[in-house]
Amino acid sequence: MELRSKILDRSARVGVVGLGYVGLPLAVEFARAGFTVTGIDLDQSKVARVNGGDSYIGDIPSTVLGPLVASGKLSATSEFSVIANLDTVNICVPTPLRKTKDPDMSFIVAASEQIANHIHAGMLVILESTTYPGTTDEVVLPMLTQSGLRVGRDFFLCFSPERVDPGNRKYQTANIPKVVGGVTPECTEHGRMLYAQAIETVVPVSSTQVAEMVKLLENTFRMINIGLVNEIAMMCDGIGVNVWEVIDAAATKPFGYMPFFPGPGLGGHCIPIDPFYLSWKTKQAGIEARFIELAGYINSQMPHFVVDKIQNALNDAGKPVKGSRIHILGVAYKRDIDDVRESPALDIMLLLRKRGGLLSFTDSHVQDLKLDGETLRSAALEDGLRDADCVVIVTDHSSVDYRGVLDRARLIVDTRNALKGMVSDKIVRL
């Protein structure tokens, strides 16, 4: 039976390579839609936890994962040979940046090699990992056509950007519109058809490059606007204007404006990283991505700006940073999640440690934090507040009682406006 029919009657055997914050939710949605799904991941602990119905992704409760595994709709393995029996494969592997801000394509290449080893006629392969425009056609396609199979006839190849906002209760995989672009129109149609079985809105585009570029525009848009508002915060600080009041008032404009908020820096595995895939690619074409470079620089300066504020606040209290007990409140890269990747809290803590600060932290979502080879454990809030010369709110979780924090702390540097509306000379704001 041809692939179209298998997709439409959900008998197509679906594979997802990479069971992280993108791959596992996607695998779950395909399984919920009625497909039999095989997750493939090199990490044996992830494989075991999926097969045990035990979710490690905040947005996927085990109460959702468990029944899908128990019914046989979803299983996981580390064996890529299963691909020989699959009809579709989505690649959801990491695309980190090297320290030199060059793309690290090793995960995409490794996954593509494995798929190339087991590819067969009638397969649909979709790359979801965020990458530079051209990756699907220039890196993945040649590896798959080595099999002698022809794209658009014997197999189908697409790119579809992942759009996951970890912790977002309103938008999850099934109701986030899915952009998909194929190497040929037949590829696009196959990709559209597959997603249409599990996701409410599918947006086909004319090529893989367009689909790859859509994602980079989305995330570059965020990174640059966050950089802009961080620079506005530093300007307001310099001229003595309350940037938070300015932003709240500007946000009353019902058109032509979208609020972004200053913070201690840019965290996460997407926003600080994805735009540099674009600037790397355009540099190859001799085009300087000046907005991206400038926003990247401004965002990277925020931890230094925050540490200077902390130093000045302690100084005003007659205390040097050196020897002061500084308690960090919230170390995840954004509110209400447990992910510390690229979190500005790490930069701030390292800078403070270099100046002799004595550090502790509390984050109800993060138990342990590796800092410069040492592992710090999240302290009870009471303990952290009691001994601290200065409390720094780096990430504001909705579970924290900030009024209570204000009552017990001696001095607070609030980088997220978590103490909005509270008045006290103990509070230092961005």
Catalytic residues: 270
Nearer to ligand SAJ, 6 or 222 (CB): 222
Q: How far apart are CA 86 and CA 310, in angstroms?
A: 56
Near ligand SAJ by CB under 6 A, which window of 53-61, 90-98, 195-203, 258-266? 258-266
Number of residues that bind ligand SAJ (CB under 6 A): 18
Nearest CB to ligand SAJ, comparing residues 85 and 297? 297
Closest contact distance (angstroms) between CB of 25 and ligand SAJ is 11
Q: Which residue has the tokens 């401004």?
A: 298
> CB 176 → ligand SAJ: shortest distance, Å?
8
Q: Which is nearer to ligand SAJ, 215 or 327 (CB)?
A: 215
- Picking from 121, 119, 123, 111, the residue whose alpha carbon sits closest to that of residue 156 is 123
Burial of 367 (0-12, 13-18, 19+ CB in 10 A): exposed
Which one of residues 42, 58, 77, 260 is an interface residue with ligand SAJ (CB under 6 A)?
Answer: 260
Please report how close the Cβ of residue 347 comes to ligand SAJ at its closest, in angstroms: 11
Choosing from 157, 179, 187, 270, the residue that interacts with ligand SAJ (CB under 6 A) is 270
Q: Which one of 6, 222, 281, 327 is in contact with ligand SAJ (CB under 6 A)?
A: 222
Whole-number minimum distance, CB 290 to ligand SAJ, in Å?
A: 21
Residues 154-213 that bind ligand SAJ (CB under 6 A): 162-166
Strand ranges of the sheet holding 325-329, from the earlier edge strand across to the other edge: 358-362, 325-329, 390-393, 412-414, 427-429
Is position 268 an interface residue for ligand SAJ (rule: CB under 6 A)? yes
Binding characters for ligand SAJ, 226-255, by CB under 6 A (x = yes): x-----------------------------
Cβ nearer to ligand SAJ, comparing 83 with 275: 275
Taking the least distance from each CB to ligand SAJ, the nearer of 193 and 307 is 307
Nearer to ligand SAJ, 99 or 170 (CB): 170
Binding flag, residue 334, ligand SAJ (CB under 6 A): yes
Where on the chain is the footprint of ligand SAJ (CB under 6 A)? 162-166, 219, 222, 226, 260-261, 263, 266-268, 270-271, 333-334
